Amino acid sequence: MESKTARLTVLIDPNKKKAFEQLCASQDITPSQVVRQLIRNYLAEHGVSYTPSGQEDAGIGAPSPDV
């Protein structure tokens, strides 16, 4: 997991937020975990590679698109 974090502010409909939070709670997962997974999947689908913060020197990161 990344060792540094950055805040992402998203504006959504309050009823949608409540439904999302309730669904997450029913699945014993946090909304942040879901959003992070969605971002990882979106980057992978579009062939974008990255190195998680704090792992630049370790050579650890997401696979490059040609792997």
Q: What is the DSSP string of 12-57?
A: --HHHHHHHHHHHHHTT--HHHHHHHHHHHHHHHTT-----TT-TT
pLDDT digit string (tens) for the chain, length 67 residues: 677 889 999 999 999 999 999 999 999 999 999 999 999 999 999 999 999 888 766 554 556 555 4
pLDDT at site 1: 62
Residue with tokens 């669904």: 23
- State the angle between helix axes of 31-45 and 14-26 in degrees (0 to 180), rounded to the nearest 10: 100
Contact predicate 52/61, CB 8 Å:
yes
pTM above 0.85, yes or no: no
pLDDT at site 63: 60
pLDDT at site 6: 93
pLDDT at site 9: 97
Token couple for 15: 């009823």
